């Protein structure tokens, strides 16, 4: 199956990276290599791109897509939260730019057997890293009703979270929930008919919530942004594309905290803590896709790009 994925906010991200031809760049969410390809095109033979992804299929697709750039490119199967170790293993101390384009690729969504989609019946999987043992089925069959409610409410922002959690627990008392099809039927039964007729797919929000929880998407992001900023050389930039309001909030807050590092009480006339800002926020407001991009690629609709520049 061909790896199909339209890169989101592509020109905006590449422009904001301020690429130096002989610089070192990291793509922490390589996917099909769409953003990386544009970075590589701008590198000289001295430049380097390190591409990280935890998904075996993405590694395979990106390796092929970027093969023309030969040893300018190094691809590592890992979680981007391991970036410091990945760079250390490669003998790299600092980099000139990092990009993260979060969430799942269209390829992951469209490959029914990966269990991300509510459009076809498949085992409840949703692992981005197929080496991991727990799957979406583990969450659905073992989490308490309250925890299911909490994740569907917070990560799915579904108004019917409480009822969906209740229906999941009732159904699994009869038999384990093993397929996306079974889960969809349970969700449908938990949402009033009138709402089902007008809203989007009734399972969309719950599926998103389970995926975010399973892949620890928010924890990993929260734990990585500052490390990434610390790895940037002077004037190096980090560009992060998010698709969920909670992700965007994490990025916004982390960037702001790295800019406002002073811990002196507001009443102090001058700073005595001596904490230097790590850099500056380039995007006071996030960059969002144009109308044309949204029409051409529905997946870009909720995307937001934020950029931070390191100052040493
Ligand atoms: C939206 S896609 C990236 C698409 C890519 N920018 C392109 O233009 O082709 C996100 C990719 O990031 C990967 N990913 C998500 N979270 C990750 C993490 N914590 N560590 C490593 N890879 C991750 C997913 O497996 C997926 O392949």
Ligand 1: nearest atom to the Cα of 129: 25
pTM score of the predicted model: 0.95
Question: Is 188 exposed, middle or buried (CB count within 10 Å of its CB: 0-12, 13-18, 19+)?
Answer: middle
Q: What is the pLDDT of residue 21?
A: 98
Q: How far is the CA of 143 from the centre of ligand 1 (A)?
A: 26
User: Cα(141)–Cα(251) distance, rounded to whole angstroms?
Assistant: 32
**CA dist list (Å): 110 to 33, 107, 165, 275, 300:** 17, 5, 26, 47, 16
pLDDT per residue over 257-287, tens digit each?
999 999 999 899 989 998 999 999 999 999 9
Ligand 1 centroid, distance to 101 Cα (angstroms): 6
| Mutation probe of ligand 1 site: the residue of 11, 28, 29 with most atoms within 8 A of C-beta | 29
Q: Which helix (H) or strand (E) holds 101?
A: strand 95-101
SS3 at position 73: strand
- Does 54 sit in the ligand 1 pocket, CB within 6 Å? yes
- Answer for the pair 72, 47: CB distance below 8 angstroms, yes or no: yes
What percent of the chain has a predicted confidence (pLDDT) above 90? Answer: 88
Considering only CA atoms, which residue is closest to atom 5 of ligand 1?
31
3-class state of residue 140 by DSSP: helix
What mean pLDDT comes out for the span 166-195? 94
5 lines ligand 1 (CB under 6 A): yes
- Compute, in angstroms, the gap from residue 81 CA to the centroid of ligand 1: 12
Sign of the four-CA dihedral 31, 44, 87, 258: negative
The neighbour count for residue 261, using CB atoms within 10 Å, is 14
Ligand 1 atom closest to residue 35's alpha carbon, by position in its atom list? 8
Closest CA to 31 of 120, 101, 116: 101
Residue 242: name the closest of 281, 187, 289 by CA. Answer: 289
Q: What is the mean pLDDT of the chain?
A: 95
55 Cα to the center of ligand 1, angstroms: 8
Contact 299 CB / ligand 1 (< 6 Å): no
Tell me the CA–centroid distance for residue 120 and ligand 1, in Å. 22
Q: For residue 2, is pLDDT > 80?
A: no
């Amino acid at each position: 199956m061909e790896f199909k994925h339209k890169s989101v906010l592509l020109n905006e991200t590449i422009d904001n990276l301020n690429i130096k031809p002989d610089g070192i760049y990291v793509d922490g969410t390589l996917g099909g290599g769409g953003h990386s390809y544009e970075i590589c095109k701008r590198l000289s033979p001295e430049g380097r791109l390190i591409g990280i992804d935890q998904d075996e299929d993405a590694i395979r697709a990106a390796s092929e897509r970027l093969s023309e750039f030969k040893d300018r490119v190094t691809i590592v199967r890992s979680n981007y939260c391991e970036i410091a170790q990945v760079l250390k293993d490669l003998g790299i101390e600092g980099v000139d730019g990092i990009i993260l384009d979060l969430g799942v690729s269209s390829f992951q969504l469209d490959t029914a057997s990966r269990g991300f989609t509510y459009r076809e019946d498949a085992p409840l999987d949703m692992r981005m890293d197929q080496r991991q043992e727990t799957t979406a089925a583990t969450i659905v069959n073992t989490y308490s009703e309250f925890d299911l409610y909490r994740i569907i409410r917070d990560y799915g922002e579904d108004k019917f979270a409480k009822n969906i959690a209740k229906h999941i627990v009732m159904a699994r008392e009869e038999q384990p929930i093993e397929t996306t099809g079974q889960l969809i039927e349970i969700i449908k039964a938990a949402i009033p008919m009138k709402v089902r007729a007008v809203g989007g797919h009734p399972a969309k929000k719950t599926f998103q919530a389970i995926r975010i929880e399973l892949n620890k998407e928010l924890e990993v992001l929260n734990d990585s942004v500052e490390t990434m900023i610390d790895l940037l050389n002077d004037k190096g930039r980090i560009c992060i594309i998010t698709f969920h309001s909670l992700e965007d909030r994490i990025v916004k807050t982390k960037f702001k905290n790295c800019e406002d590092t002073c811990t002196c009480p507001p009443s102090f006339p001058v700073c005595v803590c001596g904490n230097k800002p790590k850099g500056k926020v380039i995007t006071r407001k996030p960059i969002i896709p144009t109308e044309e991009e949204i029409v051409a690629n529905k997946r870009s609709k909720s995307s937001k790009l934020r950029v931070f520049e390191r100052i040493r």
